[in-house]
């Protein structure tokens, strides 16, 4: 393989790596591997020809993948669970009130989304990208949860708050589904 071909390949890999989501550790690992592999191939080809390019590509890809995943930033506008306010910390009284299994449904529906029980899920203590993870959630709209200032928020897979619930009694929370506030979601146990 000629040096020109290797340089073209490296440039293509770097262009591909630039298309990743900077807030997804998996995509950052792939992007880092592509950048590292391309850079390693170019340096290896210059230093040792075809065999050096292969060794450089492998070493660069491995280091790039680890570096890409390890340096994933928190998306703007979202607190990571590690830096969340005390009312959101595991072990706190507020956290204990909401963590665990719940029935989830629509207390008030509309023609295209009738009321009733939708599923049973668990508000877990497993940290995710946009809050704590909801295990066995019904839809992407309820992928993560946060508890802040007496409000329980359900967050979708892209980090957008979709439902804000308020406590009505110790075992029942209800609130509007933000994309269509005519829909009132609830959780109960």
Which of 1-5, 72-76, 117-121 is predicted with the least confidence, judged by mean pLDDT?
72-76
The reply to whether 75 falls in a domain is no
Q: Are residues 9 and 62 in the same domain?
A: yes
For the chain, what is the mean pLDDT? 79
Q: What's the rounded mean pLDDT across residues 161-183?
A: 92
Write down which residue in 70, 92, 107 finishes a domain. Answer: 70
Write down which residue in 48, 70, 92 finishes a domain. Answer: 70
Tens-digit pLDDT profile for residues 55-78: 877 877 777 667 766 776 655 444
How many independent structural domains does the chain possess?
Answer: 2
Q: Are residues 66 and 89 in the same domain?
A: no
pLDDT at 121 over 60: yes
Q: Are residues 24 and 46 in the same domain?
A: yes
pLDDT at 78: 45
Residue bearing tokens 């409000």: 151
pLDDT at 123 over 70: yes
Q: Are residues 96 and 158 in the same domain?
A: yes
pLDDT at 184 over 90: yes
The reply to whether 126 falls in a domain is yes
CATH number of the domain enclosing 127: 2.40.128
Q: What's the rounded mean pLDDT across residues 170-189?
A: 92
CA distances from 156 to 17, 57, 117, 144 (A): 26, 37, 19, 6
Rounded Cα distance between 40 and 59, Å, is 7
Tens-digit pLDDT profile for residues 31-51: 777 787 778 777 878 887 778
Residue bearing tokens 């967050």: 155
Q: Are residues 88 and 52 in the same domain?
A: no
Q: Are residues 117 and 172 in the same domain?
A: yes
Contacts of 169-173 with C-beta under 8 Å, sequence gap 24+, read: 170/97, 173/98
pLDDT at 83: 44
pLDDT at 74: 57
The reply to whether 161 falls in a domain is yes
Using 50, 70 and 90 to split pLDDT, how confident is the model at 97?
A: confident
Residue 104's domain comprises 81-188
Q: Are residues 110 and 47 in the same domain?
A: no
Return the half-sphere exposure (C-beta side, CA atoms, 13 A cut-off) of residue 20.
Answer: 24
β-pairing verdict for 172-176 and 184-188: antiparallel
Give 166 or 16, the one with higher predicted confidence: 166
């Amino acid at each position: 393989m000629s040096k020109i071909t290797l340089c073209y390949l490296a440039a293509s890999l770097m262009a591909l790596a630039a298309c990743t989501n900077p807030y997804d550790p998996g995509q950052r690992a792939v992007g880092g591997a592509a950048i590292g592999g391309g850079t390693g191939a170019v340096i290896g080809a210059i230093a040792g020809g075809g065999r050096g390019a292969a060794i450089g590509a492998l070493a660069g890809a491995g280091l790039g993948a680890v570096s890409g995943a390890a340096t994933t930033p928190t998306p703007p506008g979202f607190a990571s669970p590690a830096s969340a306010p005390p009312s959101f910390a595991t072990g706190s009284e507020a956290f204990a009130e909401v963590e665990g299994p719940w029935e989830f449904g629509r207390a008030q529906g509309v023609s295209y989304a009738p009321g009733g029980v939708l599923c049973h899920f668990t508000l877990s203590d497993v940290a995710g990208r946009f809050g704590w993870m909801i295990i066995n959630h019904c839809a992407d709209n309820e992928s993560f949860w946060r508890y802040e200032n007496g409000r329980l928020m359900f967050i979708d897979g892209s980090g957008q708050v979709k439902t804000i619930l308020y406590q009505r009694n110790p075992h029942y929370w209800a609130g509007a589904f933000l994309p269509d506030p005519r829909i009132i979601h609830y959780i109960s146990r």
